[in-house]
Structure 1
Amino acid sequence: MSKVVLITGGSSGIGKSIGTFLNTKGYIVYGTSRNPQHYKDSPFPILTLDVKDGETIMKTVQDVINKEGRLDVVINNAGTGITGPIEEIPDTEIKNNFETNFFGPLKVIKAVLPQMRKQNAGLIINITSIAGYMGLPYRGVYSASKGALELITEAYRMELKNFNIKMTNVAPGDFATNIAAGRYHAPLLDDSPYYKTYKDTLELMNTHVDHGSNPNMMAEAVCKIIETNNPKVHYKVGAFMQKFSIVLKRILPDTVYEKLLMNHYKL
């Protein structure tokens, strides 16, 4: 029997690549978007869901269950970027980022767990980020929101063991998607003490995305995880040096690693 998969943020970027790939493999795939009417040419259905709106989450999850009778895999992919000097990012934007990247996935998880418990089976994949393993300059809020999702997944996994529900993190590096277009950028202020370093770092970040890996790499990785009996706690997908940066953080003294990052970003 084909597994039923729900992907938040499945209309573009990594989410669309994952959904398209799984669809070709015979999975029953549903994606979500805040504006599904814009994606009528999607190879799989796109349903209305805003991860900041609990009502849309509950309705869409129930609609899928009513139609298919089950829900086997949920991929928390919806997320948003944010850049800027932490001092200059408005509090409302920081809270908004956490609402999308952290509290949103938690709302989705809470909505699907009753069905997965009823089935005595299920898999939840949280798409985080390699940036969530380290505090990156001018991406500190993003690093924090993704890092929080990484850590809470570790705890959640243990709490769900008795119900045969599995959960894992997949941390992508830089992929060639449209994430930069939807990212909140704190404005470059001419009189800001961070003006030059923020400007240079922003240009470097955009270059990384423009020259990022093919998102199909993430799609293939997620498919392998779904087909694994006992997924690991953490997966990292991306260029070698991006994954290796996590290893370096683990083995190097903090100040040495900090200096490496500052040299990389020319700070």
Structure 2
Amino acid sequence: MGASSSQPRHALEQPQVVMITGCSKGGMGHSLALAFARAGCIVVATARSLASIDNLDEAHPNIQTLLQLDVNSAESREAAVASALERHGRIDILVNNAGMHCIAPIAEVPPSLLEKAFATNVFAPIYLIQAVVPQMIAKRSGKIVNIGSVAGYGGGPWAGGYSASKAALHALSDSLRLELKPFGIDVVIVTPGAIKSNLENNAIQVYENLPKWSFYQQWEQYIKDRMGYSQKPGATSSDEFAEKTVKAVLRRNPPQYFRIGHLSFGLTLSYYIPVALRDRIASKMFGLNKVLYSKVD
């Protein structure tokens, strides 16, 4: 037998190439990049602004941050995927992490905000999957990891746009899982609960540019508080989220759904309780039980 045959099987395998969107500092993608790198993967970390990840490659030698990727730009998506494939020859795992909040009452949400939320949270992941999947099919292996949310099970007041976009991503992922299985490609839907990240800060920046509410001004503080609901004390750290998620994704047979984080069990369970009870709880939590009839100027 040759000398190489005595080496452990894992020593002969090439490290997996992982492409992650939305790796800006302070976010879940940043922590995922570090966790995948520590697990021995080659990580192609991307973000809309390279300045937001300029030190990430210094944190671990397995991380590369050469790719700027605006997930809402077809040209940017195509260039990033082509560059990663040219450099590494393959993308073994695609992690669709980039996302945006959409906090506003549905009756008054600006169409542009709702459209951007769906473009970022739903259409961009699908378009990236379409760009990456052909080479996965060619080698009959690969993993698609879509970062959804427990809010996709029903987000209650003020977060309907965000919840709807994540629910759509869940539904599309369910179809993808079945359609890609014959080609040896796994689809994992990660449904985080309350995870510490920069989501609240980003949401506040968007909210400050929205017009004043015509019908819901008296609930504005509740609407603002909704932006930070996942950032309250007790929220799971992004590092813990990333370590456990990466461990699950790298299993030979990864889970179809991976629920993780503070409040994730309770929020998932709430989807199955009677609607009347769920509505009563949500109305009390988000201030809608305080005013029965709103005066409209």
User: Normalized against structure 1, the TM-score is what?
Assistant: 0.93
Structure 1 position 99, deviation (Å): 0.5
2:238 pairs with one of 198, 204, 215? 215
2:190 pairs with one of 166, 170, 174? 170
Structure 1 residues 129-161: Cα deviation after superposition (integer angstroms, max 9, x where no partner): 111110421110000001100111001110111
Structure 2's unaligned 5+ residue stretches are 1-13, 58-62, 289-297
Partner of 1:8: 21
For the 8 Å contact 2:18–2:94, the answer to whether it is kept is yes
For the 8 Å contact 1:138–1:198, the answer to whether it is kept is no
For the 8 Å contact 1:11–1:31, the answer to whether it is kept is no
Runs ≥4 residues deviating over 6 A: none
Aligned pair 1:229/2:252, yes or no? yes
Equivalence map 1:135-174=2 (5 Å): 135-174=155-194
Partner of 1:19: 33
Instruction: Mark the CA change 1:175 to 1:188 in structure 2 (over 3 Å): closer, same or farther.
Output: farther
User: Match of 1:75, SS?
Assistant: strand
2:142 pairs with one of 122, 147, 159? 122
Instruction: Mark the CA change 1:253 to 1:180 in structure 2 (over 3 Å): closer, same or farther.
Output: same
For the 8 Å contact 1:70–1:119, the answer to whether it is kept is no
Partner of 2:49: 35
Partner of 1:45: 64
For the 8 Å contact 1:217–1:237, the answer to whether it is kept is no
C-alpha separation between the residues in 2 aligned to 1:258 and 1:18?
35
Cα RMSD (Å): 1.7
C-alpha separation between the residues in 2 aligned to 1:59 and 1:199?
42
Q: Which has the higher contact order (CA 8 A, sep 6+)?
A: 1
For the 8 Å contact 1:49–1:57, the answer to whether it is kept is yes
Q: Which amino acid aligns with 2:201?
A: A
Structure 1's unaligned 5+ residue stretches are none
User: Normalized against structure 2, the TM-score is what?
Assistant: 0.84
